[in-house]
Every structure is written in structure tokens, then in C-alpha cells.
Amino acid sequence: MPLTRRAILSGAATGAAALAMPAFRADAIGRAREARRSVAGTPSETVASDETYWSHIQRAFDVDSTIVNLNNGGCSPTPSHVLEAMIRDLKFSNEMPVHHMWTVLEPRIESVRRELAREFGCDPEEMAITRNASESLETLIFGLDLQPGDEVVVTNQNYPRMLTSWDQRVRRDRIVVRPISFPVPPPSAADVVRRFREALTPRTRVIEITHITNLTGQILPVRDVVRMARERGIEVFVDGAHAFAHFPFRRDDLECDYYGTSLHKWLLAPIGTGFLYVRREKQKKIWPLMAAPAKMDQDIRKYEEIGTHPAANHNAIAAALAFHREVGAERKAARLRWLRDRWARRLLAADPRVKVRTPLNATESCGIALVSVEGVDTEKLQAHLWEKHRIMTTPIVHPEFNGLRVTPNIYTRPDEIDVFAEKVEDVLRKGLS
């Protein structure tokens, strides 16, 4: 049988078949810049399906083409030139760590801070560089003074680590956490806001809301919740782990005072990078996760007092951010939604047992979507796709719903999406074998 791309993706070919795939080009960011110029003035929705354009973007990644990776929501591969920038600095650090790492490389964090702040739309003095969204949100959760009996409102779809952090405060400080629930998908943004409002009491001090849920990819009405809470003197912590560089927005679109995110998901920065935004006038009241001197009470850098750490990781954020800007936030989001719709609408049309728990529109979701098949166990379906066909998805098993979370990224090719849809259709016809 001739070696075809479909055979490779279906797992019928050997690992050596990856050699037949296009190799990474060292001039990837230059090619991305030229590709951007070639589509200047073209609507993002048109560019979304332009495979000539996206082939240049795909060449920036050095990934195993015998695997279909549809779990980029957990952690995404970084473009090869970003990885190489980090490795270069790690090697340089290793030559003379106490000088090269602390004196030469660490000060460059200030340019990363400046560029991230420009992208997010805040003052650089409000932008702390962290290792991930969990560190950012735990800084907020453990950093705000709360008294026994003070209340916090969350949703039961918040990220598990954040719920665990609040639970620790319950056990340690005797605060009260009030979780709310909402359908997937919710009937409207107003319904979500109503559910938050009805959970508030005179003792409510904090709301924690996800910008986009990690479970279904539902974008929540952050600005409306912030406005509602601010009228009542309630703080709102925004978990943006999956949002930043996923779809276009800026700080003022949300009107938030606090925001934490990971950068190794949708910005495509190295693993172990994130940021924490705290509005300047709020910084004094939020303690750092690790101790800082009193003179840093109103210095955003107090949230970076974590001890010895590699400068190489956070410095490479700059290369990832440059690549993101060449691709363009609008084009990226349009492509991710196009990839989402390619598999989701196909499977919805294939069988009424297929249920997509994510709204397929341009305002309430982007690249993340959740699909379930009635009568098919989610975890067994995930295992079948991975073990039989080397297709990686994420099983989501929540008390109120379940399904496969599917998250392609901008290096994902349409034929990979089609293989995923084809193998699910096989299960619809034949069941799990």
C-alpha cells in the first residue's frame, strides 16, 4: 500500500514516516511575516481557510506528524524558534550561572513585562511574570485578607486547582465558598450573571470567574460580572488560563482589577510561563505568595519573589509574543473557530447521538469545544482514539455533563481534523472495538 498522509495519521505507518512530512524552516518567523503581508487587507474569516497561508505558520512547529494532537488546551507545543531561544539562554546560563543568569539574562524580564503589558492593555507596573495561571490565581486566593464567615462565590466549572485552593482557605481560615452551577451551554450571558447575583449575600467578598472554561470552552460574561460586583464592593478574580492570545480582547474590554493566565497554551510560550495582572491601586492589599519586604508592598515585582529560577523561560516569551503578532489575534481566532466548526458540524450532521456542549459561534467560544456521544463512555472513547489511532483528546467527566474536549491549534492541519471526525464516525457506526 502506498504511504499516504491519511495512512500516517491513522497510525498505519511506522514512526519513520514522519520524515516524509515538511521539515521545520529556520526562517519560520520571517515566513510568517511574509505570509502576513500576503493577506494584508483580507478578512480574517477568509484567511481562516487559506491553506497556503497556514502552511507557512505550520512550518514554525517541529511536531510529530504521526500523532494528531487535539489537546492543545492543556499545554501546546511552542514554535521551534521560541524553543531554540530558550535553549540558547539555558546554555548561556550554564556557562556561568551566577553572572549570566542573574546579571545578563534576568534584567531582560523588564522588556517582556513591557511587551506583555502592551498586548494586554495595562501599565507595565501592573504586570507580574509568573509560571502559570495556577500560581497567578493562588497568589490572589491566598493573598487577600479574609475573615471567618466571609464568603466567596465560584462556579462548579472553575478549574479544579482553584477550587482546591479555596477549599484550603475554608479549612484553614473558616471562610465560606458558595459554588453556583449553570447549564452547558448556558441559555444566555444574562442568565450567568443572574446566577452569580443570586448567590451574593452581605458577607460576599470575592467572586472568582473563568474567562473561558477549561471544560467546554464557554466564554463567560466577565465584564458584566465585574460591573455587577463592583457596585457592591466585591472583588472579582478572573482566571484567564485559556483566554489570553486565544481570542482578541484587552484589559479594558473586561474592566477587571485582577487577571491570571498561562502563556504555554495559546500564546505558545515555553512551558512554565504565565502572568498576573493586578491593578496598581489594588496591589497593596494582595499579599505575595512568597514573602517580599514591606518596601515592595506596592511593587508588582513582589509577586515574582520565588527564589532562583531560569530566566531563559520567561525571556523566550518575547519570541512567542512576536510570533503571535505576526499571525495576528483576529486571524488566529478565526482559524481556531474554522477548525472547531470543521469537526463539530460534521459530527453533528452525522448522527443525532452527537451532542456538542459548546456554542458554535464567534462570541461565546473559540478553539475549545466539548463533544459527547450518547451511549458511548467518554473515557473509553478517548482511550480508543489514542490507543488505536494516536489521536489525543481530553476526557471531561463532570458531575453534570461529560464529553471529549477537543482543542486544535494553529499548527493543526485540516486533514488531521478530518481523521478525528472519521474515527468518531467509525465508532458511531460500529461501536468501540
Model pLDDT, residue 26 = 56
Say how many domains are in the chain.
Answer: 2
Q: Is 129 in the same domain as 41?
A: no
Model pLDDT, residue 22 = 36
Q: Is 235 in the same domain as 346?
A: no
Q: CA-based angle 200:203:209, to the nearest 5?
A: 45
Q: Are 152 and 175 in contact (CB under 8 A)?
A: yes
CATH number of the domain within which 390 lies: 3.90.1150.10
Give the relative orientation of helices 160-173 and 133-143 as an angle to the nearest 10 degrees: 20
Listed residues 278, 306, 323: the one ending a domain: 323
> How far is residue 268 from each of residues 108, 214, 262, measured CA to CA in Å?
19, 17, 10
Listed residues 292, 307, 323: the one ending a domain: 323
Model pLDDT, residue 35 = 83
CA 401 to chain centre: 21
Residues of the chain with pLDDT under 50: 1-25
Model pLDDT, residue 17 = 31
Q: Is 87 in the same domain as 74?
A: no
Q: Is 133 in the same domain as 187?
A: yes
Element (H, E) at 126: none
Model pLDDT, residue 23 = 41
Model pLDDT, residue 8 = 31
Whole-prediction pTM: 0.92
Q: Is 192 in the same domain as 253?
A: yes
Give the relative orientation of helices 28-38 and 80-95 as an angle to the nearest 10 degrees: 150
Q: Is 72 in the same domain as 89?
A: no
CATH number of the domain within which 316 lies: 3.40.640.10
Q: Is 312 in the same domain as 385?
A: no
Whether a cis peptide bond, with omega within 30° of 0, leads into 185 is yes
Q: Is 139 in the same domain as 110?
A: yes
Q: Is 182 in the same domain as 102?
A: yes
CA 393 to chain centre: 15
Model pLDDT, residue 273 = 98
CA 106 to chain centre: 25
pLDDT tens, position by position, 274-332: 999 999 999 999 999 999 999 999 999 999 999 999 999 999 999 999 999 999 999 99
pLDDT tens, position by position, 179-234: 999 999 999 999 999 999 999 999 999 999 999 999 999 999 999 999 999 999 99
Q: Is 264 in the same domain as 404?
A: no
Q: Is 41 in the same domain as 190?
A: no
Model pLDDT, residue 85 = 95
Model pLDDT, residue 31 = 77
Listed residues 323, 342, 361: the one ending a domain: 323
What residue numbers bound the domain in which 368 lies? 5-78+328-430
Model pLDDT, residue 264 = 98
Q: Is 111 in the same domain as 255?
A: yes
User: Residue 305: CB partners within 8 Å, gap ≥ 6?
Assistant: 288, 290, 291, 292, 296
Model pLDDT, residue 10 = 39
Q: Is 295 exposed, middle or buried (0-12, 13-18, 19+ CB in 10 A)?
A: exposed
